Amino acid sequence: MKCQHCEKQAVFHITELESGAVRELHLCEDHARNYLNQSEVAADGAEDEAEEKSAGGAISGPLGVGQTADELALLDQRACAMCGITFFEFRNQGRLGCPHDYVQFEKELEPLISNIHGATEHTGRRPSRTAEGLPEATEELTAVIGLRKEMKESISCEDYEKATELRDAIRAVEDRWLGGGHAPKEGA
């Protein structure tokens, strides 16, 4: 989407309520900075000005207007070592690739989760994984995801012996989880 004032890419999408009507703004970084600075200057009264400045200070904190695009560009390139999902893919899809992503992108996800759920600690009921034979911790699940990724890479490099070893390692873990009820697949 293009900026409403120029031909640059819009990176800020602002929604404002003005006398009951919704107004959407799509601005590039430069025009967004100007718009936010004008909002601070246009505030009425000294008390309102102080509140606006403190809000502006919060905006120019770790993800401030002047540095957001550069930081976001660097962050978007970071990828999970296990599943390979990038932060850019997460932002576009709204889904993480594996449990390890919560560790990989912890710093960025924590404020988001806190904002959505009001807390970062789980307080509800948890499913009983021991009854199903699945591991309680996510380390084993993450390890299997890593093994599957490694197996796909081995297949793409035509290293079928290594892929077979990895497949057998994955099956051994799954058999342990499910109590040996895992039947071998035909042709695999």
Q: Can you give the pLDDT at residue 163?
A: 93
Q: How far apart are CA 75 and CA 70, in angstroms?
A: 9
Note the pLDDT of residue 141: 76
The whole-angstrom separation of Cα 107 and Cα 63 is 12
8-20 pLDDT, tens digit per residue, is: 888 888 887 777 6
Statement: residue 149 has pLDDT above 60:
yes
The per-residue pLDDT for range 85-134, each reduced to its tens digit, is 888 888 888 888 887 788 888 888 888 888 888 887 878 887 665 555 55
CA end-to-end span of the chain:
46
Cβ 165 vs Cβ 157: under 8 Å: no
Q: Is the pLDDT confidence value at 2 over 70?
A: yes
Q: Given a cut of 70, is residue 137 above it in pLDDT?
A: no
For residue 36, name the pLDDT band (cuts at 50, 70, 90): confident
* Per-residue pLDDT at 54: 38
Q: How confident is the model at residue 128, as a pLDDT?
A: 66
Q: How many CA atoms lie within 13 A of 109 on its CB side?
A: 17
pLDDT digits (tens, 9 = 90+) for 45-64: 444 444 444 333 333 334 44
Task: Tell me the average pLDDT across 25-39.
Answer: 81
Q: What is the pLDDT of residues 59-94, one digit of tens each?
A: 333 444 444 677 777 878 888 877 888 888 888 888
pLDDT reading at 147 higher than 50: yes
